[in-house]
Chain A
Amino acid sequence: MISVALPKGRLGNKVFDIFAKIGYDCDEMHSDSRQLVFTSEENGISYFLVKPSDVSIYVEHGAADIGIVGKDILLEYEPDVYELLDLGIGKCRMCVAGKNDFCDNPDVALRVATKFVNIAKTYYKSINRNIEIIKLNGSIELAPILDLSDVIVDIVETGTTLKENNLGVLTEILPISARLIANKASYKFKTEEINKIVTKFSEELNK
């Protein structure tokens, strides 16, 4: 039996559809029940839906054998897991954004609002820029508008929210997509089953 941590929401639904297509369907997932864990004994798989940022925690601690998580979460929390496949879905970009007329003054520390503290620190360290981090948990775009920060580091999908608020992408740090991760110990004991899922998944995505 392989246990899978899926991210709640659009990405989780999309990924489950792929799992179903490649032979890991689960009837319980199609019902409207309030169940938390969905199991298909015949297909040897069980799913549970968790907050996207918690997927890597469930996998790292072995509560799930594998999981689907955004690269942003992997870079931010650096969980000790295997990253076995780039699904190439849920694509977006990790960007530095700010007011359209923003002009950087290198003589003072740059105020950066973000929920991705680790990613922001690593990026600015790589370009030797002195920064002051302002950790926020949501509505990051508000920070430069209210002069809480000079710039933000956040995920940009279409850029519509930025545009509507007179903000724009200043730099693209890296592209983001969903990844299939595995717990290291689970991988040792269930190598064949996990490799089978990875191969089937990869074949389905390349169709």
Chain B
Amino acid sequence: MSDKFSFLYNDELTVLKLRKLYEDRGFKKFRMSKFESYDFYAKNKDFLVGNRIITFTDLNGKLMALKPDVTLSIVKNADNSADRQKLYYTENVYRESKDIHEFKEISQVGLEVLGEIDLFQTVEIITLAIKSLLELDENAILEISHMGYTEGLLDCLTNDIHLRNELHKLFKEKNSHDLIKLAEENSLPKSPVNTAVDVMSCKASNEETIENALTNALNTRMQDAVKEVSSIFSLLKKSCLDKHIRIDLSVTDDPGYYNGILMHGYVHSIPRDVLSGGRYDSLMSKMGKDKTQAMGFAIYFDALDRKLHVKNKAGTDAVVVYNESSDINTLADLCNTLEMQGISYNAVTKMPDNCNNSKIYVVEGNQVKEVTL
């Protein structure tokens, strides 16, 4: 964007760039109300990040909540059909902060596609996720995984729900030592344990990861997952976006909500993921929309605040200093001239301490003097 927008903070500018990116691919802006019925979130608490929700009683005595999530509201309003809806949003959500034990307002930008999700659509969403990250950092990384792979692997290990939950946690931590210990204690089969340890290690390139995962796939669920990841990777290679991809098939999430592809985006100097999303047909089913497939992602601007909440340009191009003795016509003429020349200015009555390299014009009587600090 041009210098015309240099007055904007980088986060504001980034949101505009992202909106353009999504609008150019046919996504429509989704607007939602600030409040939802508490009951709606209470039923889907597991999907939310954190358990706490800000609630209040509305004038009819109904318990309402300040929205902690956007995806749920979009899903609620979706038709139960295969007709594709491509939506994006820029919204604020209200969540508890683990660090400060207080609620905080988080600015989120994201997109959701509801309806039929074919391979092309999946690649389009992933491409938009990468391009969104590149607006934040040219060396950004999008980590791609597939729920089918980890769930298929867990199918080979155990059907015990508690044990599966433990294994999920260990996958998330890349904790292979405790996974081996847990497997020994519970006499889990060795071959899937070795596969799990191998995928957690992240020692191979993307191509090798796909090849190894295909060789080590122990059931059709795992095979199908790797084949999908492989097809996506090949298509991303065509658009030269593969260098921003890291395939890590050990990354997992709640299978009650996610099936298919999972995504997590990282940018330099931010210690956690700034983008997350994936395929969530399971959530759609849970909400009674069995016919609808869905995939999307969100970017969390709270993590990016420190990196982005800066201006490209501090202050105005010029400072105009005047006082009681200044001739009003001379002052008005100067300001008009500056405006006509496209020079931004700040008219003040006191000489500034710091002018951020702005030119300073002092109006004394009917004279204009340019001074330097």
Give the chain A neighbours of B173 by CB distance below 8 A. 81-83
Select which of A83, A189, A191 is within 8 A of B202 by beta carbon: A191
Residues of B within 8 A of A84 (CB): 174-175
Within 8 A of A (CB), among B318-333: none
Per-position binary interface string of chain A over residues 181-198, scored 1 when its CB falls under 8 Å from any chain B CB and 0 otherwise: 001111111010001000
Cα–Cα, bound, A161→B73 (Å): 57
Give the chain B neighbours of A183 by CB distance below 8 A.
271
B185 to A: closest C-beta gap in Å: 12
Quick check: B177 and A185 within 8 Å, CB to CB?
Answer: no
With an 8 A cutoff between CB atoms, is A163 at the interface? no
A83, A85, A191: which has the most chain B beta carbons within 10 Å?
A83
24 contacts between A and B (CB under 8 A): A62-B270, A62-B271, A80-B272, A81-B173, A83-B173, A83-B175, A83-B178, A84-B174, A84-B175, A85-B177, A86-B177, A184-B271, A184-B273, A185-B271, A185-B272, A188-B143, A189-B139, A189-B266, A189-B268, A191-B202, A191-B246, A195-B201, A195-B202, A195-B203
Closest to A59 in B: B271
Q: How far is the CA of A188 from the CA of B266 in the complex (A)?
A: 8
B141 an interface residue at 8 Å Cβ cutoff? yes
Q: A191-B202, A195-B203 are in contact. Are A61 and B266 (CB under 8 A)?
A: no
A60 at the binding interface (Cβ < 8 Å): yes
Residues on B with C-beta less than 8 A from A86 are: 177-178
A135 to chain B, nearest CB (A): 15
Q: Which residues of A contact B203 (CB under 8 A)?
A: 195
Task: List B residues at the A interface (Cβ < 8 Å).
Answer: 139, 141, 143, 173-175, 177-178, 201-203, 246, 266, 268-273
B201 contact set on A, CB distance < 8 A:
195
**Is the CB–CB distance between B246 and A188 below 8 Å?**
yes
Contact between A185 and B178 (Cβ–Cβ < 8 Å)? no
Contacts A60-B271, A183-B271 hold; do A189 and B177 have CB atoms under 8 A apart? no
Residue count of chain A within 8 Å CB distance of chain B: 19
With a cutoff of 8 Å between Cβ atoms, the chain B residues found around residue A81 in the complex are: 173
A84 to B269: give the CA distance in the assembly, Å: 21
CB distance from B243 to the nearest CB of A (A): 13
Interface residues of A in 99-122 (CB under 8 A from B): none
Give the complex CA separation of A84 and B197 in angstroms: 11
Complex interface: chain B residues within 8 A of A61 (CB): 271
* Cβ–Cβ < 8 Å partners of B141 in chain A: 188-189
CB pair B273–A185 under 8 Å, yes or no, is yes
Cα separation A184 to B273 with both chains bound (whole Å): 8
Scan A152-195; emit 1 where CB is below 8 A from any B CB, else 0: 00000000000000000000000000000001111111010001
* Interface bits A42-86 vs B (CB < 8 Å: 1, else 0): 000000000000000000111000000000000000001111111
Nearest CB in chain A to that of B173: its residue: A83
**Closest Cβ of chain B: how far from A184's Cβ, in Å?**
6
B307 to chain A, nearest CB (A): 12
Cα of A191 to Cα of B247 in the assembled complex, Å: 12
Q: How far is the CB of B195 from chain A (nearest CB, A)?
A: 18
Interface residues of A in 122-148 (CB under 8 A from B): none
8 Å CB contact of B270 from A82, A83, A185, A187: A185
Residues of B within 8 A of A82 (CB): 173-175
Which residue of chain B has its CB nearest to the CB of A71?
Answer: B178
Q: In the complex the two chains form, is B202's CB within 8 Å of A184's CB?
A: no
Would you give the shortest CB distance from A83 to chain B, in whole angstroms?
Answer: 4
Q: With the chains together, A189 CA to B143 CA distance in Å?
A: 11
With contacts A80-B272, A185-B271 known, what are 16 further pairs, Cβ within 8 A?
A: A61-B271, A62-B271, A82-B173, A82-B175, A83-B173, A83-B174, A83-B178, A84-B174, A184-B271, A184-B273, A185-B266, A186-B271, A189-B141, A189-B266, A195-B201, A195-B203
Closest chain-A Cβ to B58's Cβ sits at a distance in Å of 35
Query: Smallest distance from the beta carbon of B279 to chain A beta carbons, Å?
Result: 21
A83 to B173, CA, bound (A): 5
Chain B residues with Cβ under 8 A from A184's Cβ?
A: 266, 271-273
CB distance from B346 to the nearest CB of A (A): 37
Q: Which A residues touch B202, using CB under 8 A? A: 187, 191, 195
CA distance A82 to B173 in the complex (A): 4
